[in-house]
Amino acid sequence: MHRTEDDGVLTLEIDRPERMNALDGATTTALIDALTALGPSVRVVVITGRGPAFSTGADIVELSRAQPRSDAEARLQADHTMDVASSLIRAVIDAPVPVIAQVSGIAAGIGVSLALAADLVYAAEDATFLLAFTGVGLMPDGGASLLVPAAIGRARATAMALLGEPMTARDAAASGLITQALPADELADTVASVARRLAHGPARALQLTKHALTASTLALLGDALAREREGQIELLTAPEFRNRVGALLGDKGESRQT
């Protein structure tokens, strides 16, 4: 992960373009550490991805390399995976300053959750949001089972989650999933302008406003994360997950994430 700070704006750039910014353990931990240890000079955070993707989600290559020697060890590994995923989303939502997601290319899997956990989400018009979990025998996590239907309703959220139907940034903006879809060449400047505006705004008022909105719209997030954790641990330790991942990696090489 690459981080820069300028005039109160902390930019956290996921820096794994060769992996379409898939989130491995080191990157996820770096994001959590940065978000939970914000200095007093930070007034707003921007999360983005380097290269052609925001994030294609968890790095299933890393997950598939884990070779537990027993069911108990497999459970411990799955526990850790889910704890880290939940901690990342909590770190974004609980950050004491506004968080902006700047999305280019694809946001998939927990990459969608990461974007939607932000307070404001700006995306290039050609960006795509995809809940690709079921394709590898998993279920949405990172709070997606709450964040997505809360924004766009149960019917469209179910189509995204069960069928893996992608949503364009234009549709995402029109449906209320994200803040705004913009021409790709305007995205960075727009986010920079919004970030500067927030950085020079009344910090305490923004903080309390964020807290109030989070409390009123995401009060059940803890329940959602707990349900996702229970279900995902079962799925991560099931043979179907490893079989599906093995088939994907065998067909396409080590380039697929979820």
Residue 195 belongs to some domain of the structure: no
Q: Which residue has the tokens 């850790």?
A: 80
Residue 257 belongs to some domain of the structure: no
Gap between the Cα atoms of 96 and 40, Å rounded: 10
pLDDT in tens, 172-197: 999 999 999 999 999 999 999 999 99
Q: What is the DSSP string of 100-160?
A: EEEE-SEEETHHHHHHHHSSEEEEETT-EEE--GGGGT----TTHHHHHHHHH-HHHHHHH
In contact, 68 and 148? CB cutoff 8 Å: no
The number of distinct structural domains making up the chain is 1
pLDDT in tens, 74-118: 889 899 999 999 999 999 999 999 999 999 999 999 999 999 999
Residue 193 belongs to some domain of the structure: no
Q: What pLDDT band is residue 202 in, cutting at 50, 70 and 90?
A: very high
Residue 230 belongs to some domain of the structure: yes
Residue 220 belongs to some domain of the structure: yes
DSSP assignment letter at 208: H
Residue 191 belongs to some domain of the structure: no
Residue 19 belongs to some domain of the structure: yes
State the CATH number of the domain containing residue 207.
3.90.226.10
Q: Which range marks the domain in which residue 132 is found?
A: 2-184+203-252
Residue 48 belongs to some domain of the structure: yes
Work out the mean pLDDT of the chain and round it to a whole number. 94
